[in-house]
């Protein structure tokens, strides 16, 4: 016949409750001792009755087990609780996230989006901000234009100065024709004859007969030509 399972609830009778406490306490301490022996575990058991009476069991020293428990609880609490630096980082992240959301909303509103929830005063303030921003953009653009114009003027002045220097250098170089004539005169001088003597001889030779012309040609070192 199967044993009837008793419902787990508070026993109303004080006498029956005390008897049950004594029996269950002995059984609990016996199981704790078996656990410590079989598994080589440190077991400490503390029980207070309804009247405040203390009952305890310890597989070794109760104080050593309690100290070990306190140390383990402190280390476990440190591991579970986030550090102060980590909390600060979370706070900074949340603050930056809020700023990002607010800045994104303002940017969309400046683009003309999500304006339905704004009041007249907020719309006027937005309009003023846009006008101020546009004025700054135009001012910055004009400043960049002036800087570019100044840079181009500086480059133009530099190129003009370089051009003037090149012209001065070119004006100091002698012409190529004069140099060629000087070279020709040097060659004729080396042969012992001048251009004037050659031309004089040719003219004089044309007014004489063939024999005289031949003699002149021979004297000048020119080939002999028979005159018709």
Three-state SS for 193?
Answer: coil
Residue 84 CA: distances (Å) to CA of 36, 78, 81: 40, 11, 9
d(CA 146, CA 168): 33
- pLDDT of 213 above 60: no
- Sorted by where each begins, the domain ranges of the chain are 11-80
b/e sequence 173-203, b meaning 16+ C-beta within 10 Å: eeeeeeeeeeeeeeeeeeeeeeeeeeeebee
Q: Which fold has domain 11-80?
A: SRF-like (3.40.1810)
Give 138-147 pLDDT, tens digit per residue: 999 999 999 9
| DSSP letter (8 states) at residue 58 | E
What's this model's pTM, rounded to 2 decimal places?
Answer: 0.33
- pLDDT of 64 above 50: yes
- pLDDT of 10 above 70: yes
Taking the alpha carbons at both ends of the chain, their separation in whole angstroms is 172
- pLDDT of 13 above 70: yes
């Amino acid at each position: 016949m199967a044993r009837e399972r008793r419902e787990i609830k508070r026993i109303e009778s004080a006498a029956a409750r005390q008897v049950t406490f004594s029996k269950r306490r002995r059984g609990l301490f016996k199981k704790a001792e078996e656990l410590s022996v079989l598994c080589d575990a440190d077991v400490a058991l503390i029980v207070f009755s309804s009247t405040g009476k203390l009952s305890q069991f310890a597989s070794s020293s109760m104080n050593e087990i309690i100290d070990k428990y306190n140390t383990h609880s402190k280390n476990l609490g440190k591991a579970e609780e986030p550090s102060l630096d980590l909390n600060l980082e979370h706070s900074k992240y949340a603050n930056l996230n809020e700023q990002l959301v607010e800045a994104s909303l303002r940017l969309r509103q400046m683009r003309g989006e999500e304006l339905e929830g704004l009041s007249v005063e907020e719309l006027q303030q937005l309009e003023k901000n846009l006008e101020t921003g546009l004025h700054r953009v135009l001012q910055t653009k004009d400043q960049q234009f002036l800087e570019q114009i100044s840079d181009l003027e500086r480059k133009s002045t530099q190129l003009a100065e370089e051009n003037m220097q090149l012209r001065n250098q070119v004006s100091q170089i002698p012409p190529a024709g004069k140099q060629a004539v000087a070279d020709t005169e040097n060659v004729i001088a080396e042969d012992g004859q001048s251009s004037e003597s050659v031309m004089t001889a040719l003219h004089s030779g044309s007014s004489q007969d063939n024999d005289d012309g031949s003699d002149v040609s021979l004297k000048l070192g020119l080939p002999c030509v028979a005159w018709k």
